[in-house]
Amino acid sequence: EAGVAQSPRYKIIEKRQSVAFWCNPISGHATLYWYQQILGQGPKLLIQFQNNGVVDDSQLPKDRFSAERLKGVDSTLKIQPAKLEDSAVYLCASSLMSGGNTEAFFGQGTRLTVV
Amino acid sequence: SQQGEEDPQALSIQEGENATMNCSYKTSINNLQWYRQNSGRGLVHLILIRSNEREKHSGRLRVTLDTSKKSSSLLITASRAADTASYFCATHLSGNTPLVFGKGTRLSVIA
């Protein structure tokens, strides 16, 4: 089966600019996650979707970050405006369901550098 | 906040040796999962252990879970250079909660 697709793979922007990341989960997976992984640390959850509804966005910096999952399939994560500390790898993952005994499948991630 | 904490933070061993990584967590869980991340790549699921299970095997991997101590261990036997990666534990609490990751253990296997 096709895996989780993310684009772009790399992005370099200046601070205060805007950026958007795209994720296409595995077909049929109801749950979609966005994680932020700063170098040397573990992935930190930003937002979890169940179909097209938000389940958990408690750690999403809503003053600058936004995410949507239209039609319960693809998702986009936007940062506006970006700060230097947003430099990280942004990982998208999907799973068949949440709360159950299922694994998450990860994309290759988007490496963002803010200069 | 991060639920799991891996120990050690870094581990260096010779090829052929066994590698053991530990994970401690804070609250009751539905299941605990281990993931591997090679440099510059996404995470790959290794094994899932449910809260009512004590031990699981998958190839050269052995995972144990002690819910009374809120801890898990991942054993990689007969390690290979290709096992060099970061290893993360992740916990699923209950219901519709997200998968929460620890900070990881960086394993280096020297040929």
pLDDT band at B4 (very low <50, low <70, confident <90, very high): confident
Q: What is the band of A12 on the pLDDT scale with cuts at 50, 70, 90?
A: very high
Judge whether B31 is closer than 8 Å to chain A, CB to CB.
Answer: yes
- Burial of residue B49 (number of CB atoms within 10 Å: 0-12, 13-18, 19+): buried
Question: With an 8 Å Cβ cutoff, is B33 touching chain A?
Answer: yes
Q: Rounded to 10 degrees, what is the CA torsion of B12, B15, B20, B21? A: 50
Phi, psi angle pair for A35, to nearest 5°:
-120, 150
Strand ranges, E, within chain A: 5-7, 10-13, 19-24, 31-37, 44-50, 53-56, 65-68, 75-79, 88-95, 105-106, 110-114
3-state SS assignment for residue A92: strand
High-pLDDT (> 90) share of chain B, %: 77
Counting beta carbons within 10 angstroms of the beta carbon of residue A92, is it exposed (0 to 12), middle (13 to 18) or buried (19 or more)? buried
pLDDT at A103 over 60: yes
Supply the pLDDT for residue A70: 83
d(C-alpha B89, C-alpha B73), whole Å: 9
B97 contacts A42? CB cut-off 8 A: no
Do the Cβ atoms of B32 and B15 come closer than 8 Å?
no
More reliable by pLDDT, B62 or B1 = B62
Residue A50: is its pLDDT beyond 80? yes
- Residue A25 forms contact with B (CB below 8 Å): no
Q: Give chain B positions within 8 Å (CB) of A108.
A: 41-42
Q: What is the average pLDDT score of chain B?
A: 92
The partner residue sitting opposite A42, judged by closest CB among B42, B44, B88, is: B88
Residue type, B21: M
| Confidence label for B67 from pLDDT (cuts 50, 70 and 90) | very high
pLDDT for B32-52, tens place per residue?
999 999 986 789 999 999 999
Using the Cβ of B29 and the Cβ atoms of chain A, whether some distance falls under 8 Å is answered with no
**Which chain A residues are within 8 Å of B101, Cβ to Cβ?**
35, 42-45
